[in-house]
Amino acid sequence: MKHGVGLVFAACCLALAGCNTMEGMGTDIARGGQTIQDAARQVRHDWRDASARNEREYEAARAHCAGLAGADHDACMDQARARYNARMSAARAEYPRTSMRAESEEDRLEDAYDAARDRCESLRGRAEDQCITDARIRYHQ
């Protein structure tokens, strides 16, 4: 009888210890998920900063080119566009879209704006200006 009571007591202790371990494991898994979410948010934040910085630099270069005429204007615009495209390509390589999850309506609008903005890169002159303006109006209201 002593051995039976001892055996039941040992089984209860193991069961309680197992429950505690499972609770701890659940907490660890939840923390891991939170860490992944935080990392995804940080990547999206860094992407936004890089993208906004590149947009500002491109707009400043375009404003500088506006004061030029003829072939000088075209060459200036081509250089500005090439720098913008190179910086955006580097930013896309550093912050791949697969590492960012669109969580809010703002994120989805930002993704749509990026896609529209990418389509503008193949245009030149007034068509490019109009494309950029249309994209801003449509997605940055």
106 three-class SS: helix
**How many angstroms separate the CA atoms of 1 and 86, rounded?**
81
Q: What are phi and psi of 123, to 5 degrees?
A: -90, 165
pLDDT tens figures, 5-40? 667 767 666 555 555 566 666 676 777 777 777 777
**Which pLDDT does position 101 carry in this prediction?**
59
In eight-state DSSP terms, residue 97 is: G
pTM: 0.56
Which of 106, 111, 59 lies closest to 87, judged by CA? 59
Residue 76 is which amino acid?
C
Q: What are phi and psi of 121, to 5 degrees?
A: -60, -25
H helices of 67-94, where? 70-94
End-to-end CA distance of the chain: 79
pLDDT tens figures, 65-77? 888 888 888 889 8
Report whether 140 contacts 116 (CB < 8 A): no
* Higher pLDDT pick, 18 / 47: 47
